[in-house]
Amino acid sequence: MIFFKFLLLFPLLTLAFSHEALSPHHLPRPLIIDYPDHHAEPNFKELHEEVKLRCTSWRFAVEANNVNPWKTIPEECVEYVKDYVTGRGYSVDLERVSNEAGVYAKNVVLGGDGKDLWIFDVDDTLLSNLPYYADHGYGSEVFDQVEFDKWVDKGMSPAIKSSLKLYEEVLGLGFKVFLLTGRSEGKRGVTSENLKNAGFQDWHKLILRAADDHGKSATIYKSEKRSEMEKEGYRILGNSGDQWSDLLGGSMSIRSFKLPNPMYYIP
């Protein structure tokens, strides 16, 4: 039993003796699981169930925006996150978000002046980067912008099917659709082509980070862009994104819809 306690505490020990200067707010977050100090043989099934329970609790806290900021998922949860995002649970959760958004969209009374707006984020909202994260530990590795840009340049991100369905429904209802992404302006061509190849057509505006937007947090950058939309007379009635920074801040939408994403956090 002492061995298993040490095993669960090992991530903290390795961090404690590391020579790298790290902010305590950006550390991987190990799950510390205490077991009764008795002499019984370890129960591997109970251990597995306890880790699964704690990882489920962690994912819930992440989706509720109660865990932030963080740079990597807890190492105990790598297999859990992998099983979730590659299994039926993730698909069902994505479908739930899009279905609820669709119900809302169908019940909105539009103004008829072309100023009723729905905003979509791109990465892991419309296009899935799951193939990239499958090769990078499902969020267990610290994000590498250079490596991610190489993935973006391939233009191979598949559509999230439930988001494509919502996207087409919103367009069909008469909303103007703006795509607001944290990708840089230099990725406009490959992003536009990837979106079209994945089935996304007829958006009204694709907004990417200009040179003077670099260095801003996603929350600030997207809030500023939404403010500009409102100044142009648009009514932001819906907003879909996988990060809270897609949704929170200034000039928020009347309704916002948060897609699940336990693999990374963008402030």
* pLDDT value of residue 3: 40
* pLDDT value of residue 31: 57
Walk along the chain (267 residues) and give the pLDDT tens digit of each residue: 434 443 443 343 333 333 333 343 344 555 545 545 555 566 777 888 999 999 999 999 999 999 989 999 999 999 999 999 999 999 999 999 999 999 999 999 999 999 999 999 999 999 999 999 999 999 999 999 999 999 999 999 999 999 999 999 999 999 999 999 999 999 999 999 999 999 999 999 999 999 999 999 999 999 999 999 999 999 999 999 999 999 999 999 999 999 999 999 999
Beta strands in the chain, from DSSP E residues, in sequence order: 116-120, 176-184, 205-209, 235-241, 255-258
DSSP string across 52-116: HHHHHHHHHHHHTT-S-S-SS--GGGHHHHHHHHHSHHHHHHHHHHHHHHHHHHHT----SSS-E
* pLDDT value of residue 21: 39
- Whole-angstrom distance, CA of residue 108 vs CA of residue 254: 11
* pLDDT value of residue 42: 62
Q: Is the pTM of this model over 0.75?
A: yes
Q: Under DSSP, is residue 16 helix (H, G, I), strand (E, B) or coil?
A: helix
* pLDDT value of residue 150: 98
* pLDDT value of residue 38: 55
Alpha-carbon separation of residue 58 from 33, 55, 70 (angstroms): 13, 5, 12
